[in-house]
Chain A
Amino acid sequence: MSETRETLPAQKAWMSVAQKVGIPLASVVLAIIVGSVIMWTSGYDPVAAFAALFKGSFGGPKQIGDTLLRSTPLILTGLALAYGFRANLFNIGAEGQLFMGGLAVAWLGVAVTGLPWIIMVPMLLLASMLAGAAWAFVPAILKARVGAHEVITTMMFSYIARYIVSWLVVGPLKAPGQIPQTVALPTGAQLPRIQTLFGESTLDALPFLNLGRTHLGIVVALVAALFVWFILKYTTLGYENRAVGFNPWASETGGISVQWTTVKALCISGAFAGLAGAVEVMGVHYRIFDQFSSGFGFTGIAVALLAKNHPLGVIPAAILFGGLTAGAGTMQLEAGVPQKIILIIQALVIFFVAAEEIFKWFIKRRQKEALSHAG
Chain B
Amino acid sequence: MPVLELREITKIFPGVVANDRVSLELERGEIVALLGENGAGKSTLMNVVYGLMSSDGGQILVNGEMVKIKSPRQAIDLGIGMVHQHFMLVEPLTVTENIILGREPGRLGVIDFATARQKVQEISARYGLKVDPDAKIMDLSVGMQQRVEILKALYQGASVLILDEPTAVLTPQEVKELFRVVRSLVDEGLSVVFITHKLEEVMSVSDRIVVMRDGKVVGETKPSETDDVGLARMMVGRDVVLSVEKGPSTCGAQVLEVTDLEVRDDRGLEAVRGVSFTVCGGEVVALAGVSGNGQSELVEAIVGLRRPSSGSLQLKGLDITHASARASIEAGVSHIPEDRHRRGLVLEFDLAENLILGDHRLPPFASHGIMHPSAIAGVAERRIEDYDVRTPSWHVLASNLSGGNQQKVVVAREIGRNPELLVAAQPTRGLDVGSIEFVHKQILAERENGKAVLLVSLELEEVLSLADRILVIFEGRIVQEFTVDEVDEETLGYYMTGGGGSKLDGEAEHVEMTEGDS
Contact = CB atoms under 8 A, between A and B. Distances in A.
Does a CB–CB distance below 8 Å link A and B in the complex?
yes
Interface of A: 4-5, 8-9, 12, 234-237, 239-240, 242-243, 246-247, 249-257
A8 B394 CA distance: 11
A8 B373 CA distance: 18
Contacts of A247: 342, 345-348
Interface string B386-404: 0000001101000000000
B344 A236 contact: no
A240 B446 CA distance: 29
Contacts of B353: 239, 243
Interface string B362-377: 0000100111010000
Contacts of B361: 236
Interface in B323-364: 324-330, 335, 337, 342-349, 353, 357-358, 360-361
Contacts of B347: 246-247
A113 to B, nearest CB: 37
A12 B324 CA distance: 38
Interface residues on B, range: 20 to 34
Contacts of B168: none
A253 B344 contact: yes
B385 to A, nearest CB: 10
Given A234-B370, A236-B366, A252 B325 contact: yes
Contact of A255 (B345, B346, B348, B358): B358
A253 B305 contact: yes
A250 B366 contact: no
Contact of A257 (B326, B329, B337, B342): B326
Nearest to B329: A255
Contacts of A252: 305, 325, 343
B366 to A, nearest CB: 5
Contacts of A234: 370-371, 373
A353 B275 CA distance: 53
Given A236-B360, A257-B326, A246 B395 contact: no
B358 A246 contact: no
A4 B395 CA distance: 12
Contacts of A240: 360
Contacts of A250: 342-346, 357
A239 B305 contact: no
18 contacts: A8-B395, A9-B395, A234-B371, A236-B360, A237-B369, A243-B346, A246-B347, A246-B348, A247-B342, A247-B345, A250-B344, A250-B346, A252-B305, A254-B329, A255-B326, A255-B327, A255-B358, A256-B326
Contact of B370 (A235, A246, A253, A255): A235
A240 B346 CA distance: 11
B50 to A, nearest CB: 23
A230 B369 CA distance: 12
Interface of B: 303-305, 324-330, 335, 337, 342-349, 353, 357-358, 360-361, 366, 369-371, 373, 392-393, 395
A252 B326 CA distance: 9
A239 B360 contact: yes
Ranked 8 nearest A-B pairs via Cβ: A255-B326, A254-B357, A254-B358, A9-B395, A246-B348, A255-B325, A247-B346, A253-B343
A236 B366 CA distance: 7
A251 B337 CA distance: 12
B154 to A, nearest CB: 37
B346 A236 contact: no
A115 to B, nearest CB: 31
Contacts of B395: 8-9, 12
A292 B324 CA distance: 46
A239 B371 contact: yes
Contacts of A243: 346, 349, 353, 357
B238 to A, nearest CB: 27
B342 to A, nearest CB: 5
A5 B392 contact: yes
A218 to B, nearest CB: 28
Nearest to B300: A253
Nearest to A9: B395
Contacts of A249: 342-343
Contacts of B366: 236
Nearest to A234: B371
Contact of B346 (A237, A246, A257): A246
Contacts of B360: 236, 239-240, 254
Contacts of A257: 324, 326
A17 to B, nearest CB: 14
A12 B395 CA distance: 9
Contacts of A236: 360-361, 366, 369-371
B324 A255 contact: yes
